[in-house]
Amino acid sequence: MFGTGVISVQKDDDSLVYRSYHVGDIAFAQNSKGLIDTVFRDIYYTARQAVQEFGEENLPDKVNKMAQNPTDANQKVKFIHAVVPNSDFDKTKIDSLKFRSLFIFEEEKMIVKEEQFKSNPYFIMRFTIAPGELWGRGPVTEMLPEIRMLNKMRLDFMEAAELANHPPMMVEDDGVIGQPVTEPRGIIYMRTGAAEPKPWNTGGNLPLTNEILLQQQNFIREGMLINVFQTLEGVKNVSSATEAQIRKEDGLAIVSAVVGAVQKDALDPIIVRSMGLIDKKKLPPAPRKFDFDIIYQGRMAMAMSALHANAIELFLAKVAPYEPLGAMDNINMDKATRHIALAGSVPAEVMVPMDVVEAKRAEQKAAAQQQLEIENAEAASQAVKNAGAPIDETSLAAQIGGQ
């Protein structure tokens, strides 16, 4: 929401570990192509954790002594994890990897651990980037002035409401006995002949102020894309469900480019790296090769998929009249059907696997072919019987005469 996020995917023994980090601990740079290829992350380990992570033989004496001293064992020391392009990378060599990983003890600038990776373990996700900027801009960043204004407006509204409920009183000097009472069911004792106490009219309009607050809140919600993903939110007063759906699709179209970019630039690489880290040797004997499509089932992705599904249905409706001309040959009906089903949240267990569908079609085709061969055989057998039967000359002459 603030525009920049950091996630890492690393392997720990037989497990894949996913972690997110505070952007304040991260520094990064991008190459000439605009791709982030350099990441530095601040790490704060206690001395005991540092020994567990890097081993005594790789740490300086200072850290080892701290770990052995119960008083200093939980004192934190700073390390830097640097992931940089490998200058010695040679794609023709199997053991040559694209990135170097260096863990550095900052105080002594000492490398305590070094590795190589096929892909960068850190994924820097940026919502949108203004021209010339490195860090991302998110909805919160863009709406921050409006959020601050809303907070000030709410404070003013609370003060106005308090004044309306407990206004200051106007009383004549020495007109009451004791202090004026403003609590519920309170009694004010007035002196004989004194003017009645009156509340001070501040002139505030609470209903109008509340309406302005609601408008400001809705403006911020729209700016942060919240309403876009809530069914019919903000379109409750439209004349028909069709208009509501159109407005919803218009909202989705606004964010489609941004969401698609986030999926392509951040989520896809994370999944691909995860698949690459899986130990292929521990998979079943066959198949060893991964053949997969990445499908997102989150709230955002489902909303985007619904937009695509509607586009498919609209396309099919438009080209249906031209089906005799072969218009439907331009679309893969199997994929279109499954995409519409996924977009509609159809449970996966009710969908027949594609290999089962293909096997069923092959079986039906074979059965149809077999039935055709049987019918042809019967027709041929009947033709042979007819060819061997004696000719009825009277009947034949009658048929010829009739023709």
> What strands, in cross-sheet order, belong to the sheet with 36-46?
26-30, 36-46, 76-85, 99-105, 110-117
Check residue 175 and give its pLDDT: 81
Q: What is the pLDDT of residues 241-253, one digit of tens each?
A: 555 556 556 666 6
The pLDDT-based confidence of 400 (bands split at 50, 70, 90) is low
Q: With helix as H, strand as E and coil as C, how does the chain read?
A: CCCEEEEEEEEECCEEEEEEECHHHEEEEECCCCCEEEEEEEEEEEHHHHHHHHCHHHCCHHHHHHHHCCCCCCCEEEEEEEEEECCCCCCCCCCCCCEEEEEEEHHHCEEEEEEEECCCCEEEEECECCCCCCCCECHHHHHHHHHHHHHHHHHHHHHHHHHHHCCCEECCCCCEECCCCCCCCCCCEECCCCCCCEECCCCCCHHHHHHHHHHHHHHHHHHCCCHHHCCCCCCCCCCCHHHHHHHHHHHHHHHHHHHHHHHHHHHHHHHHHHHHHCCHHHCCCCCCCCCCCCCCCCHHHHHHHHHHHHHHHHHHHHHHHHHHHCHHHHCCHHHHHHHHHHHCCCCHHHCCCHHHHHHHHHHHHHHHHHHHHHHHHHHHHHHHHHHHCCCCHHHHHHHHHHC
Give pLDDT tens digits for 95-138. 778 899 999 999 999 999 998 888 888 988 887 777 888 888 87
pLDDT at 55: 92
Whether the pLDDT of residue 340 is over 90: the answer is: no
- 258-287: b or e for each residue (b if 16 or more CB lie within 10 Å)? ebeebbeebbeebeebeeebeeeeeeeeee
Q: Which residue has the higher pLDDT, 362 or 235?
A: 362
Distance CA(82)–CA(34), nearest Å, equals: 19
Residue 291 is predicted with a pLDDT of 59
- Side-chain half-sphere CA neighbours of 39 within 13 A: 26
Region 354-368: mean pLDDT is 89
Q: At 279, phi and psi to the nearest 5?
A: -75, 110
pLDDT at 125: 83
Asked if residues 303 and 251 have their Cβ atoms less than 8 Å apart, the reply is no
Q: Which residue would you say has higher pLDDT here, 380 or 350?
A: 350
Q: Give CA 231 to chain center in angstroms.
A: 17
Using pLDDT thresholds of 50, 70 and 90, give the confidence band for residue 390. low
Provide the pLDDT for residue 242: 59
Gap between the Cα atoms of 328 and 317, Å rounded: 11
Q: What is the pLDDT of residues 136-194, one digit of tens each?
A: 887 787 788 888 888 888 888 888 888 877 777 788 878 878 887 777 777 888 888 88
- pLDDT for 82: 95
pLDDT digits (tens, 9 = 90+) for 58-99: 999 999 999 999 888 899 999 999 999 998 888 777 777 889
What is the separation of C-alpha 379 from the centre of its chain, rounded to a whole number of angstroms?
A: 62
Residues contacting 167, CB < 8 A, separation 6+: 182, 199, 200, 201, 202
Percent of the chain with pLDDT over 90: 16
What average pLDDT does range 44-60 have in this prediction?
93
pLDDT band at 232 (very low <50, low <70, confident <90, very high): very low
Q: How confident is the model at residue 234 (pLDDT cuts 50, 70, 90)?
A: very low
pLDDT at 283 > cutoff 70? no
**What is the band of 255 on the pLDDT scale with cuts at 50, 70, 90?**
low
Q: What is the pLDDT of residue 304?
A: 62
pLDDT computed for residue 43 by the predictor: 94
Q: Are 303 and 345 in contact (CB under 8 A)?
A: no
Residue-wise pLDDT for 16-40, tens only, equals 888 889 989 999 998 888 888 899 9
Q: Which two tokens stand for residue 203?
A: 């002139």
How many Å apart are CA 180 and CA 188, to the nearest integer? Answer: 6
| Pair 140, 271: CB distance under 8 Å | no
Better-predicted residue by pLDDT, 393 or 1: 1
* Mean pLDDT estimate for the chain: 79
